[in-house]
């Protein structure tokens, strides 16, 4: 459909009919186009728009004049030239053109015309409400840009749309915002209905139409990356209508907008009306790898889940009202086909089921209110319908609506099924309801629920047990209450909601409490035959409680023989577990657990400690207990305790280390001249210089009998010999019967040795002689009795 309009100061000229259209535009698909429609012009000479003249394009002949152009150029010639050039550019540059056409709100509006011409920028301009506007635009497919304009200067209405011309605004690299269209009208010829039905607390919810001065359309998207292979994109389409003078009429330009303070208005309130609407959808992208190839799968939930929201705000003087509404539409059949994880939904609902959930609220000077609504077409299994609603459902499907509202202090709740409405019975307590019903949180009698249904008290459930927010068969995990005594117990199954009764478990099954086990014993997290590892409790004789590698839980097994592995004494027949092995005795080199002639040891090639016969003399040892003699000396079993002692030896023997045998042995004491290392080795009890001797000190009488002295002879060791007479050689007085003087035995060495009346003659004889009388010759006064010798005579 081809429409053309031009404007001048005087008349206007337009050519019409099919032949003219062919000459102007001889290219398919416009070859058969006709100029149709009407144009309303404001013709008042002073520029005002009071007088209106209507021209009907369909009734104009080829030369009818609507407007003239300067220089006598005919309007159709100009249109023809421009259209030929436009066609050439369109073919070569993938350009689509919406030539100037009249768009009407009640027919082919701007969005519709743009869609027919393939100009995408016109599609967002769907907010032009009433009156005619002139629309034109183009789209460059190669560059991805598009532009569209709509205007009516007489009504002061203007709108622009674009794609790819104004770049998107990026926020944080994950949010993209695009401005798609804007509009402005002084006469409020812009408007839009709410996406949802709105509720003001009175009557039924209904859509609201808001006309205004300013309109904005935009889109946005936000990317969310859950993992390197999964990401989601949330797409939002927003519309905004603003009325800055809500009490003015359409097609009227208020002399002073009420949004701007009027001269006669003493209030400080700002008058305006706003409608903000939005629609959102989600698209998932999943990257998968198979056989070395990487593929990207797109899951568009827009056809499954649709979210719409509206906000309406009205402010005029003291009259203020805020209304909010949001809805979500879910095609249950689409969910079932998209993922196996929705199997539980498909078990309840048929594939053609649809759910629509809505929430509405309002707030004004009288109060506020909230309304919840769930409606749709549901296909249900018969058991589910009968249990939840107790309504017949021969066809297993019905349409329904559930509405719950609060306004002021009033609560309303009703259910509509296939056109039949039923409101719930009011109550204050469970006792006011039937036996198979309970009083819910909103004060309505509701049918009691099966196991796994959500609940907030026991009365909600048929079983009488509400546990953890779900109806259950029994009240407490790992207890028998509510279940068959001695046969069942209460548990939480992994794939079930609510607590369930389950048959008691055999040995080896997992458990948390003994009540879950047939054996009434839960040990280590498993049902067991016995209660405690390494104990005899619950086991037969010669058995003990153990954790085996082949059995789960604790089991009674046979006690182990010597050398078997163990962790306690109770596991061994011997009653002794030493270092992880069953043993005959407890401690190496001890007699604990062994006979009187045995000791505890670690035998080569055997695990555990064993008893062994005590060792004979010379056997290697560490402790006395391993030896028959009871003495371990120097690492060997010995006859005596200490070398060169008589301890452990009989009389006449001493302890020694033989060169031909290991260990200490008792030998007979040794005679004079025998080698020795201590006095105890000699019968004489004297060991001098490594040999047994008569005496210990040379030239002494110690150790010798009277008249003898200790001397070194040709035989080894010291010997006692008779003291020497006068003239014998000596080194001390002990070697002589008298005295040793100058290396020889003499009668005296000084006068004191000879008595009172005698004196020692001195060298060379050293004899004792009688002192001389008076006048006897003398050589010294000691020779004289008078002790005086003068002039060689005794005086």
Q: What is the pLDDT of residues 33-42, one digit of tens each?
A: 333 344 444 4
Q: What is the pLDDT of residues 302-328, one digit of tens each?
A: 777 889 999 999 887 667 889 999 888
Does residue 256 carry a pLDDT above 60? no
Does residue 566 carry a pLDDT above 60? yes
What does DSSP assign to residue 627?
Answer: B
**Residues contacting residue 464 through CB under 8 Å, at least 6 positions apart:** 458
Does residue 196 carry a pLDDT above 80? yes
Of residues 709 and 23, the one with the higher pLDDT is: 709
Q: What is the pLDDT of residues 512-563, one digit of tens each?
A: 888 889 888 888 888 998 988 888 888 888 899 988 777 788 899 999 999 8
How far is the C-alpha of 109 from the C-alpha of 70, rounded, in Å?
Answer: 32
pLDDT at position 387, please? 54
pLDDT-based confidence at 673, cuts 50/70/90?
Answer: confident
Task: Compute the C-alpha angle 159/165/167, nearest 5°.
Answer: 110
pLDDT-based confidence at 90, cuts 50/70/90?
Answer: low
Backbone angles phi, psi at 736, to 5 degrees: -115, 155
Q: Which two tokens stand for residue 378?
A: 């549901």
H or E segment to which residue 337 belongs: helix 332-338
Tokens 């086991």 appear where? 539
Q: What is the 3-state secondary structure (H, E, C) of 457-487?
A: CHHHECCCCEECCEECCCCCCCCCCCCCCCC
What is the CB neighbour count within 10 angstroms for residue 617? 17
pLDDT at position 17, please? 36
Q: What is the pLDDT of residues 395-433, one digit of tens each?
A: 456 666 667 666 655 566 666 666 666 666 678 888 888
Beta carbons of 404 and 374 less than 8 angstroms apart? no
- Over range 368-389, report the average pLDDT: 68
Q: What is the pLDDT of residues 439-498, one digit of tens each?
A: 888 777 888 999 989 999 999 999 999 998 999 989 988 888 888 888 899 988 888 888
- Longest C-alpha distance within the chain, in Å? 214
pLDDT at position 56, please? 46
Does residue 352 carry a pLDDT above 80? no
Beta carbons of 511 and 527 less than 8 angstroms apart? yes
Beta carbons of 299 and 283 less than 8 angstroms apart? yes
Q: What is the pLDDT of residues 221-241, one digit of tens each?
A: 888 877 888 888 888 899 999
Does residue 626 carry a pLDDT above 70? yes
DSSP assignment of 136-159 equals EEEEETTTTEEEEEEEEGGGTEEE
**Residues contacting residue 624 through CB under 8 Å, at least 6 positions apart:** 630, 631, 632
H or E segment to which residue 175 belongs: strand 175-185
- Over range 682-703, report the average pLDDT: 85
How far is the C-alpha of 478 from the C-alpha of 490, rounded, in Å?
Answer: 5
% of the chain residues with pLDDT over 90 = 13
- Over range 725-754, report the average pLDDT: 83
End-to-end CA distance of the chain: 195
How far is the C-alpha of 699 from the C-alpha of 121, rounded, in Å?
Answer: 144
Q: Which two tokens stand for residue 661?
A: 């045998």
pLDDT at position 741, please? 83
H or E segment to which residue 348 belongs: helix 343-348
- Over range 345-367, report the average pLDDT: 77
Beta carbons of 754 and 738 less than 8 angstroms apart? no
Task: Compute the C-alpha angle 459/462/466, nearest 5°.
Answer: 55
Does residue 625 carry a pLDDT above 60? yes
Of residues 730 and 4, the one with the higher pLDDT is: 730
Task: Compute the C-alpha angle 608/612/616, nearest 5°.
Answer: 145
H or E segment to which residue 97 belongs: strand 95-104
% of the chain residues with pLDDT over 70 = 75
pLDDT at position 412, please? 62
How far is the C-alpha of 477 from the C-alpha of 490, rounded, in Å?
Answer: 5
pLDDT at position 744, please? 84
pLDDT-based confidence at 345, cuts 50/70/90?
Answer: low
Does residue 146 carry a pLDDT above 90? yes
pLDDT at position 19, please? 39
pLDDT-based confidence at 170, cuts 50/70/90?
Answer: confident
- Residue 238's nearest CA partner among 189, 175, 191, 195 is 195
Q: What is the pLDDT of residues 746-768, one digit of tens each?
A: 888 787 788 788 888 877 778 88
Domain ranges of the chain: 723-795
pLDDT at position 13, please? 33
pLDDT-based confidence at 51, cuts 50/70/90?
Answer: very low
pLDDT-based confidence at 270, cuts 50/70/90?
Answer: low
What is the CB neighbour count within 10 angstroms for residue 200? 18
Give me the chain's average pLDDT, please: 77
């Amino acid at each position: 459909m081809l429409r053309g309009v031009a404007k001048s100061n005087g008349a206007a000229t337009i050519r019409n009919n099919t032949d003219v259209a062919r000459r102007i535009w001889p290219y398919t698909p416009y070859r058969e186009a006709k100029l149709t429609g009407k144009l309303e012009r404001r013709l008042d000479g002073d520029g005002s728009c009071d007088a209106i003249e209507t021209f009907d394009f369909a009734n104009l002949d080829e030369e009818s004049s609507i407007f003239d152009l300067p220089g006598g150029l005919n309007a159709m010639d100009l249109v023809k030239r421009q259209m030929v050039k436009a066609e050439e550019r369109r073919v070569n540059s993938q350009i689509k053109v919406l030539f100037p056409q009249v768009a009407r709100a009640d027919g082919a509006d701007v969005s519709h015309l743009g869609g027919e011409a393939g100009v995408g920028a016109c599609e967002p301009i769907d907010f032009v409400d009433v009156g005619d506007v002139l629309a034109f635009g183009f789209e460059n497919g190669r560059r991805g840009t598009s532009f569209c304009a709509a205007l009516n200067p007489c009504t002061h209405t203007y709108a622009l749309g674009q794609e790819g011309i104004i770049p998107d605004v990026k926020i944080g690299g994950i949010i993209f915002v695009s401005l798609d269209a804007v509009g402005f009208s002084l006469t409020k010829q812009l408007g839009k209905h709410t996406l949802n039905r709105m509720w003001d607390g009175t009557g039924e919810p209904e859509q609201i139409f808001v006309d205004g001065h300013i309109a904005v359309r935009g889109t946005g998207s936000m990317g969310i990356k859950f993992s390197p292979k999964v990401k989601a994109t949330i797409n939002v389409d927003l519309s905004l209508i603003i009325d800055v003078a809500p009490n003015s009429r359409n097609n009227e330009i208020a002399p002073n907008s009420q949004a701007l303070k009027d001269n006669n208005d003493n209030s400080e309130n700002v008058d305006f009306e706003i409608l903000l609407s939005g629609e959102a959808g989600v698209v998932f992208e999943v990257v998968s790898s198979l056989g070395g190839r990487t593929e990207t799968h797109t899951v568009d939930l827009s056809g499954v889940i649709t979210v719409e929201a509206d906000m309406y705000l009205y402010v005029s003087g003291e009259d203020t009202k805020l209304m909010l509404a949001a809805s979500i539409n879910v095609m249950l059949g689409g969910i079932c086909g998209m993922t196996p994880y929705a199997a539980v939904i498909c078990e309840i609902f048929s594939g053609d089921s649809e759910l629509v959930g809505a929430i509405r609220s309002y707030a004004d000077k009288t109060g506020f209110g909230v309304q919840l609504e769930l409606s749709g077409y549901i296909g249900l299994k018969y058991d589910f319908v009968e249990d939840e609603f107790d309504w017949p459902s021969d066809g297993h499907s019905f349409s329904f609506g559930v509405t719950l509202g609060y306004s002021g202090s009033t609560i309303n709740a009703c259910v509509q099924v296939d056109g039949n409405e039923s409101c719930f019975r009011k109550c204050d307590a469970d006792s006011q309801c039937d036996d198979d019903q309970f009083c819910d949180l909103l004060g309505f009698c509701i049918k009691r629920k099966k196991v796994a249904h959500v609940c907030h008290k026991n009365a909600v459930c048929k079983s009488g047990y509400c546990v953890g927010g779900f109806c259950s068969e029994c009240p407490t995990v790992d207890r028998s209450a509510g279940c068959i005594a001695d046969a069942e117990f209460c548990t939480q199954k992994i794939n079930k909601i609510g607590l369930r009764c389950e048959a008691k478990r055999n040995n080896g099954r997992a458990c948390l409490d003994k009540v879950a086990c047939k054996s009434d014993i839960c040990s280590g997290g498993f049902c067991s035959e016995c209660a405690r590892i390494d104990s005899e409790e619950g086991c037969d004789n010669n058995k003990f409680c153990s954790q085996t590698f082949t059995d789960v839980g604790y089991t009674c097994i046979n006690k182990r023989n010597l050398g078997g592995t163990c962790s306690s004494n109770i596991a061994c027949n011997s009653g002794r577990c030493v270092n992880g092995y069953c043993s005959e005795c407890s401690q190496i080199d001890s007699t604990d657990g062994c006979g009187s002639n045995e000791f505890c040891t670690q035998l080569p090639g055997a695990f555990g400690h064993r008893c062994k016969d005590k060792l004979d003399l010379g056997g290697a040892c560490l402790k006395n207990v391993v030896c028959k003699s009871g003495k371990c000396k120097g690492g060997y079993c010995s006859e005596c305790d200490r070398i060169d002692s008589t301890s452990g030896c009989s009389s006449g023997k001493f302890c020694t280390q033989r060169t031909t045998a290991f260990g200490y042995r008792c030998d007979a004491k040794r005679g004079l001249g025998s080698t020795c290392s201590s006095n105890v080795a000699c019968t004489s009890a004297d060991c001098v210089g490594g040999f047994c001797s008569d005496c210990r000190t040379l030239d002494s009488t110690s150790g010798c009998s009277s008249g003898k002295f200790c001397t070194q002879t040709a035989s080894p060791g010291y010997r006692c010999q008779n003291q020497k007479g006068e003239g014998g050689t000596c080194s001390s007085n002990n070697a002589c019967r008298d005295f040793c003087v100058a290396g020889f035995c003499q009668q005296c060495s000084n006068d004191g040795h000879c008595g009172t009346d005698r004196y020692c003659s001195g060298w060379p004889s050293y004899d004792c002689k009688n002192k001389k009388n008076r006048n006897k010759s003398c050589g010294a006064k000691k020779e004289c009795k008078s002790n005086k010798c003068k002039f060689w005579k005794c005086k």
